[in-house]
Amino acid sequence: MSVTNSAGRAVEKSAPLALVCGGGSFPLAVAQSARRDGREVVLLPIRGFVDPAVVEPYVHEWIYLGGVERAISALKRHGCREVVVVGNVLRPNWRQLHLDWTTIRLLPRIWKAFRGGDNHLLSLISGFVEERGLVLRGAHEIAPDLLIPPGTLGSVAPRPDELEDARLGLRLVRALGPFDVGQGVVVGHRHVHAVEAAEGTDWMLQRCAELREAGRIKLQPRTGVLVKAPKPGQDLRVDLPSIGRRTVEMAHRAGLAGIAVEAGGVMAVEIAELVAEADRVGLFVYGLDE
């Protein structure tokens, strides 16, 4: 089987897949999913963000966040033609960077993109990877089993009015698309209570819990839906929204009735575990398919 990059170049699926790994549990979940699919993987864990123990069972080479050249030559040495970048690199500090010369020459472009917000930074990454003859793949292509499927996932189904809230939230995320804002909103009784921007989903849910306690959000307990979806036009290869067991816990603490995501557009490391937790606390988890 062969795939084609944007320059029309064919790429052999039999070549090992390079996984640039940031923090969190997604990189390993993607690596395992690729292996289950019979794919050979080479991990390039970023020093300072990845636990050495978890990459031990894999062919791997440590890289630095600022070591673009070293990363490129490592994956060429291993015969990789396709790269997936997965995991977070929250709050890097200068000691973790270890800038090499290629990265330094890229800095003006990085800085410009950085100031322009996420979307630009991410298109810079994919552009640079493809300039070097590589193909950037998305975790959703390599590990589609980690995507939330359509419909009700656990034993709790959303009521029709809750689905209405969910669809309103999805329309809002889509309307926010041109502004490159967040991927999450909280809707209850056809009313928008929170919109995620720089704070992230957990912080937004924490705020909902506090606003409810303070009487600033007036909803019955177990009312309201967290909605997550990719921004329209977002490159899923470099920024795929995700939920996890913690999202379920935080949504529960915020007094919500459930979580609705765009089916096929949001990832979860351990869907079964997440759904079990949702069932335990009585939350619905739903994949919106429209």
79 φψ region: left (φ > 0), alpha (ψ -120 to 50), beta (else): left
Question: Which residue, 99 or 172, is less far from a copy of itself as judged by CB?
Answer: 172
- Our finding on whether 159 is near a copy of itself (CB under 8 A) is no
CB of 195 to a copy of itself, least distance (A): 4
Question: Which residue, 153 or 173, is less far from a copy of itself as judged by CB?
Answer: 173
Spatial separation of the C-alpha atoms in residues 60 and 78, rounded to whole Å: 10
- Our finding on whether 190 is near a copy of itself (CB under 8 A) is yes
The CA-atom distances, in angstroms, between 68 and each of 106, 246, 266, 288 are: 9, 32, 28, 38
Q: How many residues does the chain have?
A: 290
Q: Which of 203, 272, 273, 282 binds a copy of itself (CB under 8 A)?
A: 203
Q: Which of 16, 48, 150, 200 binds a copy of itself (CB under 8 A)?
A: 200
Q: Which two tokens stand for residue 91?
A: 């709050």
Q: Which contacts (CB < 8 Å, 24+ apart) does range 193-199 have?
A: 193/217, 193/219, 193/224
Q: Which of 30, 46, 194, 238 binds a copy of itself (CB under 8 A)?
A: 194
* Terminal CA-CA length for the chain: 30
Q: What are phi and psi of 198, to 5 degrees?
A: -65, -20
Q: Which two tokens stand for residue 149?
A: 């499927």
Q: Which of 218, 232, 233, 273 binds a copy of itself (CB under 8 A)?
A: 218
Spatial separation of the C-alpha atoms in residues 108 and 106, rounded to whole Å: 6
Stretch that binds a copy of itself, among 99-107, 129-137, 209-217, 279-287 (CB under 8 A): 209-217
> Which residue(s) pair with 191 in the sheet?
188
x-marked contacts with a copy of itself along 87-126 as a string, rule CB under 8 A: ----x----------------------xxxx---------
Residue with tokens 């330094």: 104
Q: Which of 79, 133, 178, 282 binds a copy of itself (CB under 8 A)?
A: 178
**Binding-site residue total for a copy of itself (CB under 8 A)?**
37
DSSP type of residue 177? G
Stretch that binds a copy of itself, among 69-77, 95-103, 189-197, 273-281 (CB under 8 A): 189-197
The binding site for a copy of itself (CB under 8 A) comprises 91, 114-117, 168, 171-172, 175-176, 178-182, 186, 189-200, 203, 207-208, 211, 214-218
